Amino acid sequence: MIERKRSPAVFKPGQSGNPAGKPKGARNHATRALLQLMEGEAEEITRAMVDAAKGGDMAAARFILDKLVPAAKERPVSLELPNIDTASDAAGAQNVILQAVAKGEILPGEANVLSGIVESRRKAMETEDLERRIAALENRK
């Protein structure tokens, strides 16, 4: 059996050959090549996609709509919540949110955000109450 000698390591273990890393905004070779091929033809490609969508190509239509009108990440939610002045008010608000989800008026993710807001309000009231109680106890001494 022939033994091969290993060449000495070019880089030390745990040390990058390019410590600065790839510059921000740098494009890889494939992307640059594609952009060069498309140079000057973007208008023609766009026109072909629009024509395909008009001709009934649903994939082309979906592509165009996704680019023109990206999916909304959030939407305004209109929900009548009670004033939250006590912990029981917070429980009532949580119930209103739960009922709205059950009726399909709001999405579960939206309910989660609203519930978090109500919970934050409840915690803030609880903290204020504890501060008042501690101050009252300290004043008695």
Buried b (16+ CB within 10 A) or exposed e, 104-129: eebeeebbeebbeebeebbeebeeee
Q: Which percentage of the chain shows pLDDT scores above 70?
A: 91
The verdict on pTM exceeding 0.75 is: no
Indicate the burial class of 97 (C-beta count within 10 angstroms; 0-12, 13-18, 19 or more).
buried
Q: Which percentage of the chain shows pLDDT scores above 90?
A: 49
> Can you give the pLDDT at residue 8?
65
